[in-house]
Amino acid sequence: MLSVECQSVYDALCEITGNSEVYKIVEADEITERIPPALSFTKVQLSQIIRDLKDREYLDVKYFTPDEYCLRVIKRIVPEPQRVAAEPSSATEEAEQQPAEQQPTKQRELYGEKGKAKKEKGAVRHGLVFFMSFLGGLLGSGIVAAITAVLFKFVL
């Protein structure tokens, strides 16, 4: 979840770029004008927030200077914290009222016996992948050693 500062900068950038998903050059002053007056940032703080948004993959930044940024806003559905806290989802309430046999199978798979089996199966799969890559490395190094031995015997 984004902090209030990051969310306000992201919203301002969405307004400026129009969610067109193309790179645009945006000046730092444009961003600070669209941020609520209660939140005021220096250019250094704004750069840090934009780096944070870039790290969280909300923005794609080509280059930036303290005064301007060449960036692309990546479309994301960001729920508003007030709306999520104020309105409980009806799907969650319906799921709680239904007996376990009538709940959707995906939910039972995540939390029930099938979910545990899938988790264990995934662990076995990862172990198998590791073992097969280990055998491939061993076989490859054996082939290289055999070729080297043949070359030393006949060529040198």
Mean of pLDDT values over 62-76:
85
Last residue of a domain, one of 50, 73, 96: 73
Neighbours of 94 (CB within 10 A): 10
Q: Same domain, yes or no, for 57 and 115?
A: no
Asked, for residue 101, whether it belongs to a domain, the answer is no
Question: What CA–CA distance (Å, rounded) separates 46 from 19?
Answer: 20
81 in a structural domain: no
- 88 within some domain: no
Quick one: pLDDT at residue 121?
55
Candidate from 31-45, 52-66, 103-117, 122-136 with smallest mean pLDDT: 103-117
Q: Is residue 13 part of a domain?
A: yes
Region 29-34: what's the mean pLDDT?
87
- Is there a domain that residue 90 lies in? no
Q: What is the pLDDT of residue 22?
A: 83
Residue 27 lies in domain? 4-73
pLDDT per residue over 124-151, tens digit each?
Answer: 677 788 888 889 999 999 999 999 999 9
Query: Are 127 and 67 members of one domain?
Result: no
Return d(Cα 25, Cα 44) in angstroms, integer. 18
pLDDT of the residue at 97: 52
- Cα torsion for 143, 144, 145, 147, to the nearest 10°? 90
Tally of domains within the chain: 2
The domain boundary, picked from 52, 73, 94, lies at: 73
Answer yes or no: do 59 and 9 share one domain: yes
